Structure 1
Amino acid sequence: MNTLLIALLRALRSHRWLRLLGCAFILSSLGNGLTQVVVFGQLLRWSASPATLTLAYMLAMLPGFLGSLWGETLCRKISPMKILILTEVLGLLALAMPLYGLLSHNIPALLAVQSAEALFNGMSYPALTLIFKRGLRPDELPAATAMETLIFASQVLLGTGAGVLLFDVLSPLSLLAIDALSFATSAGLLLCTTAVFKTLHQPDDAQPGDEKLRWQNLSPLQRRSILLLPALAAVGSPAMALLPALAQEIRPGAAPGLALPLLFARSLGQLCGPLMLSADKLRHYSGSNWRLLLCLGIFLGCYFLLPLFANWPGIGLTLVFSAHLASNIVFALGTFSVLRYFPGGQVATASAMAWRGQVLIAAVATGLAGLLAQNLGAAIALYGVSLMSLMGVAVVLWRYRW
């Protein structure tokens, strides 16, 4: 079976620039994950309120809207490789904020770094998509989907995995030092990637694209492709934002010890689900409404069962793993659709549009969930907002059905 994992391994053997790029972003994701551990771990240690925890999740997304606008604009003016290097350097400089927050017991400073990372991630996403589109053949696009999945999951799989193991062993300042080293090394690897990429491709391929898109001019298939990631955000964001608060409700006396393993199980599921998909059937799967809704339904079902197994942490970890095994299949199909159904000159703008839609929908759903959690509890907020979102997604998929 030609899975996405096999397609990725085949592409990695063929493209040195892809190997360098993958290593760079995996290291960068390690740093981002460590930052997340420091922020959420300290907030839980300081007994932050559910509203603060939910706000931290919102700040890890919302500035990505502005970042994607900047990234889209920069892709029309400079090489996308330069954009990626810029975001790594800025990410390194942004670590001054959590450093100040830890030293002065300042919660806003800890939250600020979440906003900075979201901004830089939004800038890098259109550039990364454009590089994949230009550097890979059409039959290799499933490998790009797999690589994006690997990068997305590595942030918590590696960063949170290392953070869970080291959080009570090393000081938060030591974790930030490791974080800074990962950003610096990633920037160096991206410089090497730039040199290799330029030698393999024509000068035109290294230049920015300049095509703009208007929603009214897109085909129904292209609109559906852009809407898949926002649809996932509508259903998934309330659950992911409320995960630390759910941990507080499930085990009030040991929230950090439960929340961080749950974050790790989440990312492990995010990685494993998409990589097992058949690379030859991605186009068919992305057009199947019932498969997409089934995956989102499994995701919500697992989260709905989570509060019922408060005394069985192993079952809770399995439920979170299974939930994100299903949800990230939708993520993989969304990223593949954008790469598949937009030409090279439009793919950066299309991916930026999908990113902005994802951020905007996630912010609205998360904000509503946070307000309900503060007044009614995390579990009730999860049930109410997520079910309403799933019904809305079903309507959108029916509207743009194949």
Structure 2
Amino acid sequence: MNNLLIGLVRALRHHHWLRLLGGAFMLSSVGNGLTQVVVFGQLLRWHASPSALTLAYVLATLPGFFGSFFGEKGCRRVPPLRLLILTELLGMFALILPLLGMFYHNIPAMLAVQSVAAFLAGMSYPALTLTFKQGLSAEELPAATCMETLIFSAQVLLGTGLGVLLFEVFSPLTLLSIDAVSFVAAILLLAATARHIHLRPLQEMDTPPQVAVIRWAGLSILQKRSLLLLPALAAVGSPAMALLPAIAQQIRPGDATGLALPLLFARSLGQLCGPLLLNGERLRHYAKSNRHLLMCLGIFLAAYGALPLLAAEKTTALGLIFVAHLASNVVFALGTFSVLAYFPAQSVSGASAKAWRWQTLTAALATTLAAGLAAQWGATQSLYAVSLTSLAAVALILVRYRQ
């Protein structure tokens, strides 16, 4: 079986620049995950309200909508790796925000760092996608899908894993210092990547040349479906993920931090492992299959729906969240692969930016609705109402744009 991980290992052995790029983002992800632990850990220590905890998730996604515009336009003017280095520099300077939040017990400052991180993630996503499209062959695109999944899941898997272990041992200041060091190391590795990579000129990659502007009316059914997969995942998954700390607070009012942080770790472990189950040679088939996509989203919601009922045992709760994100990140991998596979190089950065914007906007709308209902009905009832409605809407969309 041509497992995605096997394909990634082959690509890493063949491309020195890919190893450098992967190392850079893994290091940066460790630091970002530590900062996320600091933010959520401090909010839980300060007994923030469920709406504030949910708002933290909104602020960790919505600014990516605006960041993707900068990333899309930047890819037309400068090499994508230069843009990635810029995002790492800006991320390092943004660490002053959680410092101010801790020193002055300021919740808005703690939430602001989430906004900056989301903006920079949206800015870097088109550049990262374009780097893979220009640097890898068509046969190696499944490896790029696996790498993107590893990069975005490592932020919480590695960073949160360390953060959960270190949060009660070291001060938040120490954890933020580790984040700063990871940014510096990532910048150095990205600079080395730029020296080793050979990016094929866009004009040589597709015939005839394609315009970079993405217009919905001119897209094929497959391209439209590709752009809709990540927003579909956001509609179903974002309310549940945003409400996770509040659900933990509801389940264990006296020990919310002790439950919420391990649940965040289990979430990212599932995100990491899910795509690795896919067969790289069948990605196109899976991406076109409504049955597979809806089954994964259904498993995700079933696991989250069972969490308030079966979470008396921490091991059970961790297992449910792991299974949920094992399923959800299969959909994420298929969404990222579809954009890479079905758009030409000239328009792939624009397509990925558009998918990112729709994803973040959908996540923000669904999460805001969930936060409002959580204040009235409670976190569990809000989860059932919003996510099940979103799943029904996604099923209709997938049927409308099936190939």
TM over 0.5: yes
Q: Offset at 1:206?
A: 12
Q: Is the 8 A contact 1:268 1:321 kept in 2?
A: yes
Q: Distance in 1 between matches of 2:326 and 2:145?
A: 15
Q: Which residue of 2 aligns with 1:31?
A: 31
Q: Offset at 1:309?
A: 1.6
Q: Distance in 1 between matches of 2:211 and 2:161?
A: 40
Task: Note the aligned Cα RMSD (angstroms).
Answer: 1.3
- SS of residue in 1 equivalent to 2:255: helix
Q: Distance in 2 between matches of 1:400 and 1:50?
A: 36
Q: Write the mapping of 1:3-402 to structure 2, written as runs, cut at 5 A.
A: 3-197=3-197, 200-201=198-199, 211-402=212-403
Q: Is the 8 A contact 2:134 2:202 kept in 1?
A: no
Q: Offset at 1:306?
A: 0.2
Aligned residues: 399
User: TM-score, normalization: structure 2?
Assistant: 0.97
Which has the larger displacement, 243-252 or 211-220?
A: 211-220
Unmatched runs of 5 consecutive residues or more in structure 2: none
Q: Distance in 1 between matches of 2:157 and 2:68?
A: 24
Percent identity over paired residues: 65
Against the structure 1 CA distance between its residues 262 and 206, is the aligned structure 2 distance closer, same or farther, given a 3 Å change threshold?
Answer: farther
- SS of residue in 1 equivalent to 2:389: helix
1:87-134 Cα deviation digits (max 9, x unpaired): 000000000000111111111000000000000000000000000001
Q: Is the 8 A contact 1:220 1:400 kept in 2?
A: yes
Letter in 1 for 2:320: L
Q: Is the 8 A contact 1:134 1:205 kept in 2?
A: no
1:311-350 Cα deviation digits (max 9, x unpaired): 2110000000000000000000000000000000010000
Letter in 2 for 1:155: Q
Letter in 2 for 1:151: I
1:112-161 Cα deviation digits (max 9, x unpaired): 00000000000000000000001001000000000001001101100000
Q: Is the 8 A contact 1:295 1:326 kept in 2?
A: yes
Against the structure 1 CA distance between its residues 254 and 205, is the aligned structure 2 distance closer, same or farther, given a 3 Å change threshold?
Answer: farther
Q: Is the 8 A contact 2:135 2:200 kept in 1?
A: no
Q: Offset at 1:290?
A: 0.8
Q: Is the 8 A contact 2:131 2:199 kept in 1?
A: no
Q: Distance in 2 between matches of 1:93 and 1:71?
A: 19
1:147-181 Cα deviation digits (max 9, x unpaired): 00100110110000000000000000000000100
Q: Distance in 2 between matches of 1:36 and 1:205?
A: 41
- SS of residue in 2 equivalent to 1:87: helix
Q: Distance in 2 between matches of 1:202 and 1:280?
A: 24
Q: Is the 8 A contact 2:134 2:200 kept in 1?
A: no
Q: Is the 8 A contact 2:134 2:201 kept in 1?
A: no
Q: Offset at 1:65?
A: 0.3
Q: Is the 8 A contact 1:226 1:338 kept in 2?
A: yes
Against the structure 1 CA distance between its residues 278 and 299, is the aligned structure 2 distance closer, same or farther, given a 3 Å change threshold?
Answer: same
Q: Distance in 2 between matches of 1:276 and 1:134?
A: 26
Q: Offset at 1:215?
A: 1.1
Letter in 2 for 1:356: R
User: TM-score, normalization: structure 1?
Assistant: 0.98
Q: Distance in 2 between matches of 1:8 and 1:202?
A: 20
- SS of residue in 2 equivalent to 1:253: coil
Q: Offset at 1:220?
A: 1.0
Q: Distance in 2 between matches of 1:172 and 1:232?
A: 33
Q: Offset at 1:211?
A: 1.6
1:277-305 Cα deviation digits (max 9, x unpaired): 00000000000001100000000000000
Q: Is the 8 A contact 1:79 1:206 kept in 2?
A: no
- SS of residue in 1 equivalent to 2:61: coil
Against the structure 1 CA distance between its residues 149 and 202, is the aligned structure 2 distance closer, same or farther, given a 3 Å change threshold?
Answer: closer
Q: Which residue of 2 aligns with 1:2?
A: 2
Q: Distance in 2 between matches of 1:202 and 1:266?
A: 37
Q: Is the 8 A contact 1:92 1:183 kept in 2?
A: yes
1:32-74 Cα deviation digits (max 9, x unpaired): 1111000000000000000000000000000000000110010
Q: Offset at 1:310?
A: 3.0
Q: Distance in 2 between matches of 1:122 and 1:274?
A: 21
Q: Offset at 1:201?
A: 4.1
Letter in 1 for 2:18: L
Q: Offset at 1:7?
A: 0.4
Q: Distance in 2 between matches of 1:358 and 1:141?
A: 21
Letter in 2 for 1:379: T
- SS of residue in 2 equivalent to 1:147: helix
Q: Distance in 1 between matches of 2:360 and 2:201?
A: 34
Q: Distance in 2 between matches of 1:243 and 1:15?
A: 39
Q: Distance in 2 between matches of 1:382 and 1:98?
A: 29
